Amino acid sequence: MQKHIHSQSPVSPYAGVFESDDDGAVFCAVSLSSEQEPDVDDVIEIFTKNELDAINENSDIRIMWSKDGDKCALLINDNFYAMFDFLKKEGHTRNTTSTPESGWTRVAFKWTDAISEEFSFDLVQKRTEKLNAAIHDVKDKDNERSRLMLYRHLMHSTLYIPITGSDPEAKDNLYYIFPYDTTKDGPTTRFVLCTFTDEKSCEAHFGQFGIKYQPVKANHVFHNIQNYDVFAVLVTTPDGVSIVVERDEFPIISILGEPSSLQYNDIIKNMAPLLLKPAEEDLTQAPYPEIGSILDGNPEIKSAFLFRTTATHSQLTLGICVMDPKTAKLGSLYQNLISLLQRHQSDNEDDSYCVTLLEPNSFLHSMVKQVVTPFFKRETVDI
């Protein structure tokens, strides 16, 4: 894929150039002078020929400049790939094996608060534009695809949140939540958190009432708000378009945004109901009684679960736990179960089935136990 992107510093005689062709992709640092031809100061290899499938015509490739105009960064799909510091003559990159030009040094790229501050305005502005577009898409057509795109952009965005304190810099501020509906003869029944994607709109709505606000990363918002009696978060764009994110959506945004901040058990607890659901089949009907008899007749089986993923039209899965996965001989068991399920499928063409082994304490096993009651359990053992 041939691509050429050129960006000049708004205040300094420097430029950054991204070029790609069938042989690879590079990022170049260029010095500009009115008296002579531009000089290529340094070249960083971004992709080799074999790595070019990482980008395509739809890839968002941008060159951003720091506030002082002396540093430029290459972003591909909102991810930093390289950065040039023209004053220090440094090329920061994920791949430090390439040799720098004379007088320049190669530095392993590391994300720091200083880099975030250097490029914050352009980066936040671009991410906010994408979030606003995603909100408009949900408003126009609220479906699974538009919601997933909304989650994707919320994960990397900042929201402006009303707070109860008078000092926006204080760390102990609480979110200011509002009643969503009330009854004439009783107290408020539900609360909502009102947020904005831009500071100006937040100030216009809350400033007139003396309510302070602060910017908070969206994934932190959706993690923290789970501790409040809030049923939904309202997210509003600068042009007044609002969408509602309901409580059952909070966990997936908080987890996808920053999974490393959560303990393993917290991830299991939050992710399980989002990914798995119990089977709703009538277990008194064929083939389930016969499946139960087969499992009960095999002493190696500890327990079994019937579940589906939360995706639309997902297949029914029979998850099996055994006494000892290392010694269990399950060949004939699997064959009998699959044969039975296939016979049942011939009578119900809309059904599809899967049989899988649930390894003890595996991620899948832990999630299944979180949301599904055992279909079969041997009385003398733990599930």
pLDDT digits (tens, 9 = 90+) for 2-38: 889 999 998 899 999 999 998 999 999 999 876 667 8
Distance between CA 147 and CA 80 in Å, rounded?
25
Spatial CA neighbour of 283 closest among 312, 314, 316: 316
Q: With bands split at pLDDT 50, 70 and 90, how would you rate the model's confidence at 122? A: low
Query: Which pLDDT score is estimated for 364?
Result: 87
Spatial CA neighbour of 314 closest among 363, 266, 281: 281
Query: Which pLDDT score is estimated for 258?
Result: 55
Query: Which pLDDT score is estimated for 346?
Result: 52
Task: Share the mean pLDDT of the chain.
Answer: 84
- DSSP label at residue 174: P
Query: Which pLDDT score is estimated for 190?
Result: 85
Query: Which pLDDT score is estimated for 58?
Result: 78
**Mean pLDDT across 221-244:** 93
- C-alpha angle with apex 25: 20 to 27, nearest 5 degrees? 105
**Mean pLDDT across 157-185:** 83
**Mean pLDDT across 116-133:** 78
Query: Which pLDDT score is estimated for 198?
Result: 92
Distance between CA 319 and CA 344 in Å, rounded?
18
Torsion over CA: 38, 42, 48, 54 (sign):
negative
Q: With bands split at pLDDT 50, 70 and 90, how would you rate the model's confidence at 82? A: very high
- Does pLDDT of 139 surpass 90? yes
**What is the number of other CB atoms lying within 10 angstroms of the CB of residue 4?**
9
Query: Which pLDDT score is estimated for 302?
Result: 92
**Mean pLDDT across 179-200:** 78
Query: Which pLDDT score is estimated for 125?
Result: 77
Chain segment 321-333, per-residue pLDDT in tens? 988 877 667 777 8
Tokens of 282: 């009538």
- Read off the pTM: 0.53
Spatial CA neighbour of 362 closest among 248, 252, 272: 272
Span of 89-98, 206-215, 304-313 with lowest mean pLDDT: 304-313
- Check: CB of residue 13 under 8 Å from CB of residue 55: no
**Mean pLDDT across 290-312:** 87
Tokens of 296: 């009960």
**190 - beta bridge partners?**
181
Q: Please report, rounded to a whole number, the percentage of residues in the chain having pLDDT higher than 90.
A: 38
